[in-house]
């Protein structure tokens, strides 16, 4: 029995800060002696130039650029061995805090595989956003102890946008095996049973064979997917004609004129902070220095997104009549979770969506019907259990909260996950799945036996001759407490688990109140 040396207690999780940016930003002005615009990063300049050319951009477009732009995105451009994770990086995640986290996800896969009749072949393990690969490493090590399951696994797929992280994952999971470029991405061979591992940039490149049983894991992935933000504005009786903001300018939208007596959703868009001058005025003490390059502003007119996205769910309707309400909507998250659901349960509907910019190969055809629904998805992330996230865009750098509009590309930005929206999108995508949760991470981990596993690890340490056994035990127990802590902003309360499984009359999965029998 071994304990990974890297078990870490220090460092902040990404959920630890909830800086509400909303309207406060627009009251903060930055001035300097130079009249030339100084951008904090090359990516800030690229975004600023794009806004000058075509007008304000959505929060979603901003997030996408900051996180995954090939020219300076946070995940896609970090080099020089700099790492986003751990004490020397920007934040810490549960798999990096304790090996037990990944081990219990491995056990969860084992239990679902048993509930589904011990599928004898065609099992796929898929992870989206695998970070350093730590979670998959802990899962595969655990699964390798369950021989019948291990031998039914045909392939592992990792969906990763970052070339540097793909390399880190390959080193951890495949060591010296070669990494070969293939039509859908890259392939190597795992140190666990020589399983093939394939890397793709988007889940839609992962082969979609409905005879397979995909077990899909997403840990702190959805919080990195772009959101649109909308604010309810009160009726404006003086407004004679509604207008629509387009890249070509404002267009009259006569059809909506009769609705000017109703509250409306307006998109919160990203605009540059006011131009430099020589005085400093700050009316908000909540935003850390340096002054951000950008700010959120309320769009002056409707946008195509504000007319469409808030109509997609009844949940947004009640908030519309409450002026000032802000909602966050993530179409990209909906599309990812719908893909999970269709792979598990199949779909009666043929979709025509394709990856926006396939860099290699052809997108996998969309799933249709599946004769025997199989597999499962497990989503672990932070966000409210059943309310709509509101003003949750946040930045984090070196374990400290910063404005998400500062140093674009050098700051990690993320949002709260809307678990109810994920549930709705999954259920709408496949008729043959059911969704369980979200339950709090603390509940899930305790139901999965985190304490018992921790004590097993500690007993294993007793047998070693190491000088620092007591310190190692303290670290194991401290890490467990941190993962399950439910007071205040504890990870056990803020993080949630959501499972998608084949339709089976509501029988709960293990960790969600159910058991294997």
Smallest gap from Cβ 270 to ligand SAH, in A, equals: 18
Q: Which is nearer to ligand SAH, 141 or 504 (CB)?
A: 141
Q: Which is nearer to ligand SAH, 63 or 457 (CB)?
A: 63
Smallest gap from Cβ 163 to ligand SAH, in A, equals: 10
Q: Which is nearer to ligand SAH, 190 or 295 (CB)?
A: 190
Smallest gap from Cβ 298 to ligand SAH, in A, equals: 27
Q: Which is nearer to ligand SAH, 75 or 192 (CB)?
A: 75
Residue 169 tokens read as 């994952």
CA proximity to 416, closest of 444, 377, 378, 390: 390
Q: Which is nearer to ligand SAH, 134 or 299 (CB)?
A: 134
What is the distance between the alpha carbons of residues 298 and 490, in angstroms, rounded to a whole number? 33
Residues 6+ apart with CB under 8 A from 89: 11, 82, 83, 398
What is the distance between the alpha carbons of residues 63 and 226, in angstroms, rounded to a whole number? 5
What is the distance between the alpha carbons of residues 240 and 459, in angstroms, rounded to a whole number? 75
Are 101 and 476 within 8 A, CB to CB? no
Q: Which is nearer to ligand SAH, 219 or 475 (CB)?
A: 219
Pairing assessment for the beta strands 153-159 and 196-200 based on DSSP bridges: parallel
Smallest gap from Cβ 133 to ligand SAH, in A, equals: 9
Q: Which is nearer to ligand SAH, 129 or 373 (CB)?
A: 129
CA proximity to 217, closest of 143, 118, 144: 143
Smallest gap from Cβ 451 to ligand SAH, in A, equals: 22
Smallest gap from Cβ 414 to ligand SAH, in A, equals: 8
Pairing assessment for the beta strands 326-329 and 228-233 based on DSSP bridges: antiparallel
* Consecutive H or E run containing 126: strand 123-128
Smallest gap from Cβ 130 to ligand SAH, in A, equals: 6
What is the distance between the alpha carbons of residues 67 and 414, in angstroms, rounded to a whole number? 9
Report the 10 Å Cβ neighbour count for 276: 16
What is the distance between the alpha carbons of residues 484 and 41, in angstroms, rounded to a whole number? 38
Smallest gap from Cβ 355 to ligand SAH, in A, equals: 10
Whether omega for the bond prior to residue 290 falls within 30 degrees of 0, making it cis, is yes
Residues 6+ apart with CB under 8 A from 6: 86, 96
Q: Which is nearer to ligand SAH, 219 or 397 (CB)?
A: 219
Are 356 and 441 within 8 A, CB to CB? no
Tell me which residues touch ligand SAH (CB under 6 A): 67-68, 75, 93, 95-96, 129-131, 135, 159-162, 165, 219-221, 224
Are 28 and 297 within 8 A, CB to CB? no
Residue 504 tokens read as 């089976």
Smallest gap from Cβ 465 to ligand SAH, in A, equals: 32
Q: Which is nearer to ligand SAH, 3 or 224 (CB)?
A: 224
Residue 240's SS3 state is coil
Q: Which is nearer to ligand SAH, 67 or 425 (CB)?
A: 67
Smallest gap from Cβ 117 to ligand SAH, in A, equals: 29
CA proximity to 203, closest of 3, 379, 60: 379
Name residue 296's beta-bridge partners. 270
């Amino acid at each position: 029995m071994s304990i990974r040396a890297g078990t870490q207690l220090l460092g902040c999780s990404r959920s630890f800060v909830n800086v509400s940016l909303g309207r406060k930003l627009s009251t903060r002005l930055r001035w300097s002696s130079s009249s030339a615009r100084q951008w904090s990063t090359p990516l800030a300049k690229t975004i600023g130039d794009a806004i000058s050319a075509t007008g304000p951009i959505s929060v979603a477009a901003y997030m996408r650029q900051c996180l995954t732009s090939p020219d300076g995105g946070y995940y896609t451009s970090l080099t020089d061995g700099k790492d986003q994770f751990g004490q020397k990086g920007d934040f810490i995640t549960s798999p990096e805090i304790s090996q037990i986290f990944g081990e219990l996800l491995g056990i969860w896969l084992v239990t679902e595989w048993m509930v589904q009749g011990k599928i004898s072949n065609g099992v796929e393990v898929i992870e989206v956003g695998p970070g350093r690969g730590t979670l998959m490493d802990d899962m595969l090590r655990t699964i390798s102890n369950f021989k019948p399951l291990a031998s039914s696994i045909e392939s592992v797929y990792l969906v990763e946008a970052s070339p540097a992280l793909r390399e880190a994952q390959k080193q951890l999971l495949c060591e010296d095996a070669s990494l070969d470029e293939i039509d859908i991405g890259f392939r190597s061979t795992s140190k666990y049973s020589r399983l093939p591992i394939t890397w793709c940039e988007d889940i839609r490149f992962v082969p979609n064979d409905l005879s397979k049983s995909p077990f899909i894991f997403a840990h702190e992935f959805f919080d990195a997917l772009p959101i649109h933000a909308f604010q309810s504005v009160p009726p404006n009786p003086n407004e004679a004609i509604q207008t629509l903001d387009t890249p070509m300018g404002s267009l009259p939208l006569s059809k909506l004129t009769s609705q000017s007596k109703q509250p409306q959703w307006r998109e919160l868009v990203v605009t540059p902070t006011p131009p430099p001058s020589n005085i400093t005025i700050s009316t908000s003490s909540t935003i850390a220095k340096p002054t951000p390059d950008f700010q959120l502003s309320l769009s002056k007119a409707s946008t195509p997104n504000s007319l469409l996205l808030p109509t997609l769910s009844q949940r947004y309707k009640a908030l519309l009549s409450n002026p000032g309400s802000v909602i966050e909507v993530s179409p990209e998250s909906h599309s990812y979770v719908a893909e999970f659901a269709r792979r598990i349960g199949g779909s009666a509907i043929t979709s025509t969506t394709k990856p926006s910019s396939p860099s290699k190969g052809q997108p996998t055809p969309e799933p249709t019907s599946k004769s025997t629904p199989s597999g499962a998805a497990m989503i672990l992330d932070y966000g409210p259990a059943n309310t709509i996230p509101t003003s949750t865009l946040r930045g984090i750098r070196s374990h400290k909260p910063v404005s998400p509009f500062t140093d674009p590309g050098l700051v990690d930005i993320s949002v709260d996950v809307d678990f109810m929206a994920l549930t709705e999108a999954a259920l709408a995508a496949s008729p043959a799945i059911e969704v369980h949760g979200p339950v709090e991470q603390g509940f899930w981990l305790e139901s999965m036996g985190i304490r018992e596993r921790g004590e097993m690890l500690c007993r294993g340490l007793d047998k070693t001759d190491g000088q620092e056994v007591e310190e190692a035990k303290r670290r194991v127990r401290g890490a467990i407490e941190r993962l399950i802590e439910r007071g205040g902003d504890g990870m056990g309360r803020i993080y949630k688990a959501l499972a998608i499984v084949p339709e089976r009359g509501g029988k709960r999965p293990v960790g969600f109140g159910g058991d294997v029998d």
